[in-house]
Amino acid sequence: MNTICTQEILIIGSGAAGMTVALELAVKYKVGILSKSAIESGSTWWAQGGIAGVFDHQDSTESHYQDTLEAGAGLCHEEAVRYTVESGPNAIHWLIEQGVKFTQSEDKKYHLTKEAGHSHRRIFHAADSTGKEVSTSLADRVKTNPNIRLYENHVVVDLITQADKNSSRVRCTGAYVLDVQKDCVIVFQAKSVVLATGGASKAYLYTSNPDGATGDGIALAWRSGCRVANLEFNQFHPTCLYHPNAKSFLLTEALRGEGAYLRLPNGERFMSKFHPKEELAPRDVVARAMDYEIKRLGCECLYLDITHKPVSFIDQHFPSVKAYCLSFGIDISKDLIPVVPAAHYTCGGIMVNSLGQTDLWNLYAVGETAFTGLHGANRMASNSLLECVVYGRAAAKAISESISSIPEFDIANPWDESRVTYSDEDVIISHNWNELRRFMWDYVGIVRSQKRLERAEHRVKLLQKEIQEYYSNYKIGKNLIELRNLVLVSELIIRCAKQRKESRGLHYTLDYPELSSIAKDTIMVPINFAAQNIVVNKN
């Protein structure tokens, strides 16, 4: 018999978005947080850049708004952008209240840096490890809050849905969850469920993301009947450290924001050929320029150069980057840094309204797993942490105002694994994982074509068949759950990419290199589409 755990609110994911929701709701309610591994293991911890907010007297909300629209290449939802940037200062004040210590100048004023796409200095940061500071500060609050219970090493298998007795709506009432350490599936149930599981960049061979970025929330929501949108827009960060022993280490956008140059192997700068803002061009432009030069020259990597800055400046602003690079024998104050583009951020996701509500009643999505319309066809640097806090607080407010009217749920059926066996061929999982990430990189990467997408679609369907057969017959584990989710999200990425017959923002295809005169979202609707009475507020 399965263990059944109940709470008022269940949050799946322990990054900035999930912890924001938890801390806001824990003032009045009992909250459970599920984390795939340690609470600090998500993408938030690795975010080096910062969080954007208008505080400088020379800056303005309108400027932040316009910069975001420009970076989004015509697909940003204007109401979402305006709401987010106007909420920015309050979000940053809230983080400071939670104990986040942003870098200050000698006069005790907060030091604001500038990143690609921003026309002013508006990036709050904690040296070059802002994500670590935010993650640690929020985690400390979570761990000491008596109304929050943290379940580490718990991986969601699928959501639980029930038909509401008093209406035609389908509601989410929990999830089947694998306790990795005890190797058993537990039933978690709650009145409201929040997906805060991050993105899907592990679909690609090279990524700056941690291992957990396997698109779990997107897959869970899609299987339960929620729409997804704009998954073709995968942001590739231009500068990931290229070294045989370095695993996916991101070299922060702030390096170029503070004057670092990109160079070819012969030392020549090249970004002026691609954009008037050179190294400060939007990320998609920089990544595509690097991809072009790498393929043109047949080289393995390009180089980032900040050696012209004083050593004291580098030590003050980029201590983590310098220390990490030194561990591989690279002194960034003297040496050029080898870099390659890498999958970094999922701009599309689960469709939500301005409160984070999905198509499924009582199911919310916040952070990178959600599609709010903020990022459009290309996320602007340091808007992602901002989105986590702004929409996390909005979702918490909506849940708080509605939870008292939510009827009780029926206890879910137990997880049935009576017919499965232990597999002695787990090599199939690792082989399929490697094959998926390789063809996604080759065929659905920075530059695409219809032929490449068709090849990828053919291969992903074969993998899905193998994985489903494996899933149906053998006892599940964390690797299989993640692979099952990742192959589904990869299929959705490919389908979205095939549907877009233009090149816009992060989606560039050789067959349709021009920009369409009509900007529209790519919306995928599942066969079991769940929405009846929920209106998703979209432009």
In a domain, 130, yes or no: no
Average pLDDT over residues 64-76: 95
177-199 pLDDT tens trace: 999 999 999 999 999 999 999 99
Lowest mean pLDDT among 15-29, 47-61, 346-360, 493-507: 47-61
Instruction: Give pLDDT, residue 535.
Output: 46
Residue 10 has pLDDT above 70, yes or no: yes
Active site residue 269: no
Lookup: tokens for 230: 């704009």
Residue 106 has pLDDT above 80, yes or no: no
- Residue among 283, 288, 448, 452 flagged as catalytic: 283
Instruction: Give pLDDT, residue 537.
Output: 47
Lowest mean pLDDT among 12-21, 45-54, 166-175, 452-461: 45-54
What are the φ/ψ torsions at residue 99 (nearest 5 degrees)?
105, 5
Average pLDDT over residues 312-333: 94
Helices (DSSP H) in 47-173: which residue ranges? Answer: 61-71, 78-97, 130-144
Give the structural domain span for 291: 238-342
Is the distance from CB of 103 to CB of 123 less than 8 angstroms? no
Instruction: Give pLDDT, residue 187.
Output: 96
Is the distance from CB of 450 to CB of 500 less than 8 angstroms? no
Distances (CA, A) of 274 to 39, 263, 501: 41, 13, 23
Assign residue 486 the CATH number of its domain: 1.20.58.100
In a domain, 514, yes or no: yes
Q: What is the CA radius of gyration of the chain?
A: 22
Taking phi over 0 as left and psi of -120 to 50 as alpha, with beta for the rest, 288 belongs to: alpha
412/173 Cα distance (integer angstroms):
8
Instruction: Give pLDDT, residue 532.
Output: 54
Distances (CA, A) of 73 to 115, 216, 456: 17, 27, 26
In a domain, 54, yes or no: no
443-469 pLDDT tens trace: 999 999 999 999 999 999 999 999 998
Instruction: Give pLDDT, residue 458.
Output: 97
> Per-residue confidence at 533, pLDDT binned at 50, 70, 90?
very low
Helices 78-97 and 384-402, packing angle to 10 deg: 90
Exposed, middle or buried, 147 (CB in 10 Å: 0-12/13-18/19+)?
middle
Residue 268 has pLDDT above 90, yes or no: yes
Domain endpoint, select from 286, 320, 342 = 342
Residue 242 has pLDDT above 60, yes or no: yes
117-165 pLDDT tens trace: 888 999 998 887 888 899 999 999 999 999 999 999 999 999 999 987 7
In a domain, 114, yes or no: no
In a domain, 117, yes or no: no
Pairing assessment for the beta strands 154-163 and 4-12 based on DSSP bridges: unpaired
Is the distance from CB of 530 to CB of 226 less than 8 angstroms? yes
43-52 pLDDT tens trace: 776 666 789 9
88/76 Cα distance (integer angstroms):
17
> Residues near 136 by Cβ (< 8 Å), separated by ≥ 6?
40
Average pLDDT over residues 262-270: 97
54/60 Cα distance (integer angstroms):
6
> Residues near 521 by Cβ (< 8 Å), separated by ≥ 6?
75, 229, 230, 373, 538
Instruction: Give pLDDT, residue 538.
Output: 45
CA dihedral 162, 164, 169, 173 (to 10 degrees): -40
Assign residue 262 the CATH number of its domain: 3.90.700.10
At position 314, the amino acid (one-letter code) is I
Helices 427-443 and 478-499, packing angle to 10 deg: 20
Report the number of distinct structural domains present in the chain.
2
> Per-residue confidence at 539, pLDDT binned at 50, 70, 90?
very low
Q: Mean pLDDT across the chain, nearest whole number?
A: 91
> Per-residue confidence at 411, pLDDT binned at 50, 70, 90?
confident
Query: In which order are the strands placed within the sheet that holds 337-346?
Result: 234-241, 337-346, 302-305, 261-263
Scan for tokens 């923002």, then name that residue: 505
> Per-residue confidence at 107, pLDDT binned at 50, 70, 90?
confident
283-292 pLDDT tens trace: 778 988 998 8
Instruction: Give pLDDT, residue 487.
Output: 97
In a domain, 465, yes or no: yes
In a domain, 273, yes or no: yes
Q: Cα–chain-centroid distance for residue 280?
A: 22
In a domain, 118, yes or no: no
Which percentage of the chain shows pLDDT scores above 70?
97
